[in-house]
A and B are shown apart, each in its own frame.
Chain A
Amino acid sequence: MQSCKMKNTASAVQGDANSKVYVAPGKYDEYYNFVSGGFNGQVSVYGLPSGRLLKLIPVFSVFPENGYGYSEETKAMLNTTNGQIPWDDQHHLELSQTNGEQDGRWLFANANNTPRVARIDLSTFKTVEILQMPNSAGNHSSPFITENTEYVVAGTRFSVPLGTEDVPISSFKQNFHSTASFISVDKTSGNMALAFQMVLPGMNLDLSHAGKGPSHDWFFFSSYNTEQAYTLLEVNASQKDKDYIIAVNWKKAEEYAKAGKGKKVPAEYAHNTFDESKQLASSVIEHEVLLLDPKDCPDMIYMIPCPKSPHGCDLDPTGEYIVGSGKLAALIPVFSFSKMIKAIGDKQFEGDFQGIPIIKYEAALYGEVQKPGLGPLHTEFDGKGNAYTSMFLSSEVVKWSLKDLKVLDRAPTYYSVGHLMIPGGDTRKPGGKYLVAYNKITKDRFLPTGPELAQSAQLYDISGDKMQLLLDFPTIGEPHYAQALPASLIQGKQVKFYDINKNGNEFVTMGEKKANVVRKGNRVDVYMTAIRSHLVPDNIEGVFVGDDVYFHVTNLEQDWDIPHGFAIKNNPNAELLVMPGETVTLKFSPQKQGIYPFYCTDFCSALHQEMSGYLRVSPKGSNTPLKFGTGVVADTSAQK
């Protein structure tokens, strides 16, 4: 839906905007901005305030550019109970926290389509863990975390039947459930484990955020389709005046889980981890999950009525205010945590939703922001008592005061803003300097590129009373939620190369002397080294049609920013980028006889063009002897 107000492309930019986003050549940005890739399944990283793209991190999608999902070492990262899935829809990101503040250790990412949660290491910018979610579909309200990263949550957008029984779609009310999963995160290693799942009535969980400070023990999820429609949701899920914000006492849930109140049920899901020392991903299929039924766990879950299909469910830095952004509502309700606790104590309920007590709206309500704009979606905070809500329908960011709920300022977006992001804006300590709006519609903002346009992001200066638009920049995929942290938090701990002497890859080649080609049946292992600017071996013969050839390429370099690439002609596979000190394996199963050149694809030196070699593939059953080397020149000219 387009904005109702007409704006021309240049309006709203004034004054010293250019100097505020100019980062001179050789200078660094102030913030890393991690942006979800939506339908590209990746995470992109931008610098702020410049909006410069720094990196694309493959998470749920294969990435032929560096071999992620193609190399033997990384294939297992994308394994699921339905085999390797090469793509997903990546919506939300959350940076790890300690005491409600960003700690710069990990970035969590959700996959919507085939429910999964990933963890990215912020010293390598690599996906190091992916955990599949059983009993889930449309993993949307994820991967939000508790204040000390005790848990990452995963909530279902699509309710589904639990287990494997074949049921009619029309039995939604009886058989379909939403679930809220709590994934524990190991304090030291970051390793995730599915601790427990809460079984909830059939409805759509949308977004979520954890409590802070006084509300530390609680987690809040927004919901829609509490009408429990299973067809034409556009109409049938918009019938009721109010849906719910679901308040979950996760501390209590933890106690119930420990006290054996849950039920262990069979459920298969993949748990994939990347072992940095072996440089190898492995996938384990788990077989069991602990379910918590609210019926057996009193005082664990409450519902708070919230107008019209709320999307954002956001807690202010103090942990007292819960902002529900009803995307079809004409106001923004703000709930009070302390009032909610009192209402629970006083049993101010107005019935139940399939057994879960519903708190009276007014009893939990702090107040309503009147006439904020159209289509409120998501709210972040500046730490100075102000909230900023994105308005999808009226294409604007609205700044309002938490104290008196008065609208203070409006800034247009171009166009149809979805999520917005203030660095640390969902933590206890927001950095109240910038705000980025991630827009769904781009239209006339950039040079046109055919029917499909890049989605635009807009950067605002929010340090003053009035928001000031500073910059437009195009993004990759479709950004939903994003995160940003001060560069100083992680800049100094970036891994620059891997120590070759600690390389634990099973197929490492420790120096050219060890380069080798080993045949075992029809499997051929090539132990290859790469250094500026040659490959050893670079001549290989004695390989036959039908062989499976594994090129284990070890980059012997020990210097920052000197990766080597590796590709083979006609290989129906990707290439490799091998970081200094790393070993990565590319499989090639030649189907035709011939000479196959291979080469380094990453410009590495003045003699990069020379960094190449030949593989001879002979017909099956021929007797070409196994031969390999580098720098060996034959002494006869008429060899056959």
Chain B
Amino acid sequence: MKQVPLLASIVIASLLIYSCGSGSQPSSSEAAGDSSMVVQEDKTASQAAADDSKGKGKFTEVTLTHPLDKAMVAGGKTVYDVKCAACHKLSDEKLVGPGWKGVTDRRKPEWIMNFVTNTDEMIDKDPAAQAMLEQCMVRMPNQHLTDDEARHVLEYMRENDGKN
């Protein structure tokens, strides 16, 4: 008698999306200290912002400057060159991430500052950030901007958008 092996085949197609859905990446909102080596405590800045369009993070009210603060714009450009330009163009063209043109019209200032300082929690929980992840397919790296650096970048974005 012949033995017929039963073939039960289960095919699991797995699309590898880095960190997709991993809800527990340690996020950190600590600013860089004085040491050249950065030691950080893991903190989850989870004070949920009341207004979702402001994103999740510590910034609930950002006061804008009129006219633009030139020193902050210059500081923001320095940060952009080192930490952002690898993935974001100043035009509306997408590179790795979306181009910055018009970002200050699309997002509230608080959302922007929360996103660049509280990146992991935003990507994990904020609907707008998650939608962007689905488009770009690369998690935005947490570049550990200090609060000041984040504010300067915001000013630089505003200048890029022709605000005053």
**Which residues of A come within 8 Å of B, CB atoms?**
123-124, 276-277, 492-504, 510-514, 529, 531-534, 536, 556-560, 562, 581, 604-608, 631
Contact = CB atoms under 8 A, between A and B. Distances in A.
Interface stretch (B2-10, B35-43, B46-54): B35-43
Interface of A is mostly: loop
B72 interface: no
Contact of B96 (A124, A502, A533): A533
Interface stretch (B61-69, B100-108, B140-148, B155-163): B140-148
Nearest to B24: A26
Interface in B51-88: 81-83, 85-87
B32 interface: yes
Contacts, number: 96
A124 B39 CA distance: 10
A492 B119 CA distance: 22
Contacts of B138: 532-533, 605-607
Sort A-B residue pairs by CB-CB distance and give the 8 closest, nearest first: A502-B36, A511-B81, A511-B82, A558-B144, A531-B86, A559-B142, A558-B143, A495-B37
Contacts of A277: 36
A499 B86 contact: no
B16 A511 contact: no
B37 A510 contact: no
B65 to A, nearest CB: 24
Given A531-B87, A533-B138, A606-B16, A560 B26 contact: yes
A605 B144 CA distance: 18
B128 interface: no
A581 B32 CA distance: 12
B86 A512 contact: yes
Given A511-B82, A531-B87, A606 B17 contact: yes
Given A532-B138, A559-B144, A499 B83 contact: no
A536 to B, nearest CB: 7
Contact of B32 (A493, A501, A534, A607): A501
B137 interface: yes
Given A513-B85, A532-B96, 7 more contacts: A498-B36, A511-B81, A534-B86, A556-B86, A557-B141, A558-B143, A606-B18
Contacts of B144: 497, 499, 558-559
8 contacts: A277-B36, A498-B36, A498-B37, A511-B81, A531-B87, A533-B138, A558-B141, A604-B18
B83 A556 contact: yes
Contacts of B151: none
A531 B36 contact: no
A359 to B, nearest CB: 49
A495 B86 contact: no
A556 B41 contact: no
A501 B16 CA distance: 33
B139 interface: yes
Given A529-B86, A531-B86, A559-B142, A495 B137 contact: no
A119 B96 CA distance: 41
Contacts of A533: 96, 138
Contact of B40 (A124, A496, A557, A608): A496
A510 B82 contact: yes
A558 B28 CA distance: 11
Given A511-B86, A513-B81, A529-B86, A499 B32 contact: yes
A75 to B, nearest CB: 22
A558 B142 contact: yes
Contacts of B87: 531-532
A511 B39 contact: no
Please indicate which of the listed interface residues B18, B28, B81 has the most CB atoms of chain A within 10 Å of its own CB: B18
Nearest to B32: A499
B122 to A, nearest CB: 14
Contact of A606 (B81, B86, B137): B137
Interface in B118-151: 119, 137-139, 141-144
A493 B41 CA distance: 8
B142 A556 contact: no
